[in-house]
């Protein structure tokens, strides 16, 4: 009898089924079950501390003490939303730990809000750029229900802009034209005595003249002319007001990069003042002067950059010592000091 496979090529001898998989041993079942049910390993302490502080904004605490008023001025601030906004709390406290003038402010690029806790009042300021050449601004005093709205447009010429502003809800609008040499403002106002409206003009003009700057300031029907000459070693600043004819001048002489003398005299009242300043490096400054108006001599020592920020000074701290000596009563001289310190938490 012939082989069936040779007669029909489509018929093949079936292969035996594969053997069933062997069941795992009890020991293997226990080990695998244990690996699936075991709790995850705890992260190290450094990882936990990082997770706790990863989203917390850094705090900046600044405290300033004035021995004259015996008051502490404290500020606590932090930046939010990737430095897009700033939240600040400020308050004063005396030696009895009594808190006064607490204020909370929120500042961002377009909106600023200041809340006075004692007055229970809120001040709101907003700025909006509706166009590369057009900006809108608004101020509002919630308690007084007063404010101001303004619109400023940059003109086609560089350095030129036109600003229109008006008090809210009652007031006269004001138009201000700004240009490279200064600005001029026009505003209608009402005179109570004459009971009529007049046009008020205020403005300032600046012009380079030789090695100095000449400035003309006109406000409230008074014109003040001022010329400021300055070079590397000398500054001379005369000024006069019209129509009162009140004249004064300031003189500054720099003897070296670390020595400077300033003098001011008023021809109308014969009052004068003088200040000598000497710096020792960047973080030490000695100043001494006299003011004839209050008949007082004084001297002060700054430890830390006087005009700089606290964060740039050593130990993030600035100290000022001042001695005041009255001319009429030397025995009542007083020594005062101020300390300003910053902590980053």
Question: What residues does each domain of the chain span?
Answer: 59-119, 210-269, 271-345
Report whether pLDDT(14) > 80. no
Report the chain's mean pLDDT, rounded to a whole number.
86
Question: How far, CA to CA in Å, does 272 sit from each of 102, 235, 263, 292?
Answer: 39, 17, 7, 6
Report whether pLDDT(187) > 50. yes
The whole-angstrom separation of Cα 26 and Cα 114 is: 72
pLDDT above 70: percentage of residues in the chain: 83
State the burial class of residue 300 (Cβ atoms within 10 Å of its Cβ: 0-12, 13-18, 19+).
buried
Distance of CA 101 to the CA centre of its chain: 19
Specify whether the CB–CB gap between 166 and 148 falls below 8 A.
yes
DSSP one-letter code for 201: E
Least confident piece of the model among 12-16, 66-70, 156-160: 12-16
Report whether pLDDT(109) > 80. yes
Residue 321 φ/ψ, nearest 5 degrees: -110, 135
């Amino acid at each position: 009898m012939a082989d069936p496979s040779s007669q029909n090529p489509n018929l093949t001898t079936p292969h035996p089924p594969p053997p069933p998989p062997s069941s795992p041993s009890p020991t293997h079942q226990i080990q695998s079950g244990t690996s699936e049910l075991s709790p995850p390993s705890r992260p190290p302490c450094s990882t936990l501390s990082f997770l706790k502080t990863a989203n917390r904004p850094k705090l900046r605490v600044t405290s300033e003490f004035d021995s004259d008023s015996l008051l502490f001025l404290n500020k606590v601030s932090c930046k939010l939303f990737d430095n897009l906004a700033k939240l600040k709390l400020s308050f004063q406290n005396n030696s009895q730990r009594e808190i006064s003038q607490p204020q909370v402010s929120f500042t961002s690029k377009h909106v600023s809000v200041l809340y006075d806790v004692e007055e229970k009042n809120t001040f709101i300021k907003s700025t909006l750029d509706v166009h590369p050449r057009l900006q809108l601004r608004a101020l509002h005093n919630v308690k007084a229900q007063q404010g101001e709205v303004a619109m400023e447009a940059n003109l086609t010429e560089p350095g030129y802009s036109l600003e229109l502003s008006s008090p809210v809800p009652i007031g006269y609008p004001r138009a201000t034209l700004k240009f490279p040499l200064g600005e001029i403002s026009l505003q209608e106002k009402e005179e109570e005595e004459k009971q009529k409206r007049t046009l008020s003009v205020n403005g300032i003009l600046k012009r380079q003249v030789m090695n100095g700057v000449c400035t003309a300031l006109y406000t409230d029907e008074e014109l003040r002319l001022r010329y400021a000459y300055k070079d590397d070693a000398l500054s001379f600043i005369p000024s006069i007001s019209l129509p009162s004819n009140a004249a004064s001048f300031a003189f500054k002489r720099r003897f070296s990069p670390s020595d400077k003398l300033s003098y001011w005299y008023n021809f109308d009242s014969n009052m004068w003042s003088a200040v000598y300043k000497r710096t020792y490096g960047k973080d030490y400054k000695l100043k001494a002067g006299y003011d004839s108006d209050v008949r007082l001599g004084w001297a002060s020592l700054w430890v830390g950059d006087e005009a700089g920020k606290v964060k740039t000074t050593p130990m993030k701290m600035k100290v000022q010592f001042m001695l005041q000596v009255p001319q009429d009563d030397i025995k009542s001289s007083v020594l005062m000091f101020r300390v300003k310190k910053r902590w980053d938490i």
